[in-house]
């Protein structure tokens, strides 16, 4: 009489997953090295210089855009799914104000900073001073 621990005589052997793919660590194509500009420079001066006004406008715009996205989306969810018009309306109002401030900062940057340095603003190859 067979015991409980005997293997079934007609059971197939389990497939070996490594036999199908081989050794991927050894078979991979070698990737060539790439020189990164500014890698030789020290950490303090990595070869990237950003104008202070540009950095200020960029980070303020990022914060306002995130507040706008969060306020409008959370406000709509509160109104639609919970029926909380007070909290949802307030969140939507904050989001819309932040969206307006994002646009206002972009417009201010285009008028004051980008037009003042003589660089290409509209992307058409013509500088702002030559229009």
Q: Which helix (H) or strand (E) segment is 35 a member of?
A: none
pTM > 0.75: no
| Number of structural domains in the chain | 1
> What does DSSP assign to residue 54?
H
pLDDT in tens, 56-103: 889 999 999 999 999 999 999 999 999 999 999 999 999 999 999 999
Taking CA atoms, 106 is separated from 59, 73, 97, in Å, by 11, 22, 14
What is the C-alpha to C-alpha distance for residues 71 and 67, in angstroms, rounded to an integer? 6
Higher pLDDT residue, 131 or 9?
A: 9
Residue 3 in this model has a pLDDT that exceeds 70: no
Could you list the residue range(s) of the whole structural domain that residue 96 is in? 52-114
Taking the C-alpha atoms of residue 70 and residue 100, their distance in angstroms, rounded to an integer, is 14
DSSP code string of 79-129: IIII--HHHHHHHHHHHHHHHHHHHHHHHHIIIIIITTTT-BSSSSS-BGG
In a domain, 106, yes or no: yes
Question: Average pLDDT of the chain?
Answer: 78
C-alpha atoms less than 13 angstroms from C-alpha of 108 in its C-beta half-sphere: 13
Nearest-5° Cα angle at 59, 53 to 65:
130
- Inside any domain, residue 95: yes
Question: Cβ–Cβ contacts within 10 Å for residue 39, how many?
Answer: 9
């Amino acid at each position: 009489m067979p015991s409980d621990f005997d293997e079934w005589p007609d059971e197939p052997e389990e497939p070996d997953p490594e036999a199908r793919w081989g050794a991927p660590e050894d078979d991979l194509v070698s990737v060539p090295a790439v020189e990164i500009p500014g890698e030789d420079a020290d950490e303090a001066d990595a070869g990237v210089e950003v104008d202070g006004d540009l950095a200020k406008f960029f980070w303020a715009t990022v914060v306002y855009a995130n507040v706008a996205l969060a306020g409008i989306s959370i406000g709509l969810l509160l109104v639609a799914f919970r029926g909380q018009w007070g909290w949802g309306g307030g969140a939507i109002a904050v989001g819309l104000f932040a969206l307006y401030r994002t646009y206002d900062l972009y417009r201010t940057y285009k008028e004051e900073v980008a037009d003042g340095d003589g660089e290409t603003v509209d992307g058409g190859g013509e500088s702002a001073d030559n229009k």
